[in-house]
Amino acid sequence: MFKIKTFFVGLLILMFSSGLIFSQYPEQSLLSNIKIKPGIGLDYFSRTVRAKDEDTTNRIKCFFLTLNTEFEINDGFSITAILGYSISNFNSMTFRNIPVSLELDVGSIGGLLGGLNLNMNILRLRNFEMDISGRIYYSKSTKQTWDIPGLSVEGTAEGKPSLLTVQAGPVFTYTGFAYFLPYVNFSYNKLWGKFKMDETIQDLTGSEEKKLTGRSDLSLSVGFIYEISRNLTVKAEGILMPHSDFKNSDFGSMFRLIYVFN
């Protein structure tokens, strides 16, 4: 598992840095037929998660601040390497399988983030395009330590969350406008997470690991790509992950500012 993670992170760093370097010298680059588009992004989602073997659900909220490098390998196929910082909020998540039960009310937990995005055009029809898009994010927080209040002795809790999201599905884009490309994306949108909590109160110790999954596995995104100038593009979308009780559906949003080297 460690090797896979190391390989994944190494690959991302390599892609990201090489993209930035080559993008400075587009004519001399070995990758001169590859269009490189660095950018920055902001993702937000609020999702209902359920821990394995538990009936209760929690809502987690995450912000991802990302640096992206898109490699447009040929017309209609691109890979984007994503590195960034994640801010996750697991408040109200409760750990009852440790000696003294704990409820998180710690606010945001920071961590590192890596991801990949793939986009492949499969159909062009007059003013419509259909792409297949896939995205994977993995975020891992540094170990957090909190004091357990109200005890007659000192006690601490250590938490370490991680999240993995995978999204894949068709994207339908209307290309009839010159600089404005609205699109709709139906996706399989899966979230897995882990939250390990270690408790130490003198000689009383316990550990609990929650394996989390998102309640909804499907999402509908509506967004647009807007070319502000020849070099600058904005991409924004809203994401809905519906539940059977629609009022409590999950949602998210994504924003990208992309620079294109010509």
Partner 1 sequence: MKRKKLIFIPVLIYILFITVNFSFDQKDSKKLHRNLKTGHKIPSLNKNRLHRPPRSQYAADQVLIKFKSRTTHHQISSALSFYRVKPLRQIPEIDVFQVQIPSDLTVEEMLALLKRNPDVEYAEPNYKTHILATPNDTLFQYQYALHNTGQIIGSVPGSPQGKNLADINAPEAWEESKGNQDIIIAVIDSGVDFDHTDLSEKMISRGRDFVNDDMDATDDYYHGTFISGIIAADTNNKEGIAGVSWNCKILPIKAIDNDGTGLYTWMIEAITWAADQGVDIINMSIGGDAPSDALKDALEDAYQKGVLIAAAAGNDTEPVLYPAAYDDYVLAVAATDYNDNRTTWSNFGPQIDVAAPGERILSCVPTWYFGQGSIPYGYGSGTSASVSHVSGLAALIKSIKPWLSPKDIMNIIRYTADDINRNEHPGLDEYVGYGRINMEKALVPVKIK
- Contacts with partner 1, residue ranges (CB under 8 A): 94-97, 99-107, 146-153, 155, 157, 201-204, 247
For residue 152, count CB atoms less than 10 angstroms from its CB and return exposed for 0-12, middle for 13-18, buried for 19 or more. exposed
Q: Give the nearer residue to partner 1 in terms of CB position, either 28 or 152.
A: 152
Nearest distance from C-beta of residue 103 to partner 1, angstroms: 4
- Residue that is written with structure tokens 């609020």 in the block: 46
Q: Give the nearer residue to partner 1 in terms of CB position, either 147 or 217.
A: 147
Q: Give the nearer residue to partner 1 in terms of CB position, either 58 or 69.
A: 58
C-alpha distance from residue 74 to each of 15, 28, 32, 119, 224 (Å): 17, 18, 11, 11, 22
Nearest distance from C-beta of residue 247 to partner 1, angstroms: 8
Nearest distance from C-beta of residue 150 to partner 1, angstroms: 6
Nearest distance from C-beta of residue 147 to partner 1, angstroms: 7
DSSP annotation of 107 reads: -
- Residue that is written with structure tokens 């979230």 in the block: 191
Q: What's the half-sphere exposure (Cβ side, CA atoms, 13 Å) at 60?
A: 30
Q: What is the rounded distance in angstroms from the CA atom of residue 103 to the CA atom of residue 106?
A: 9
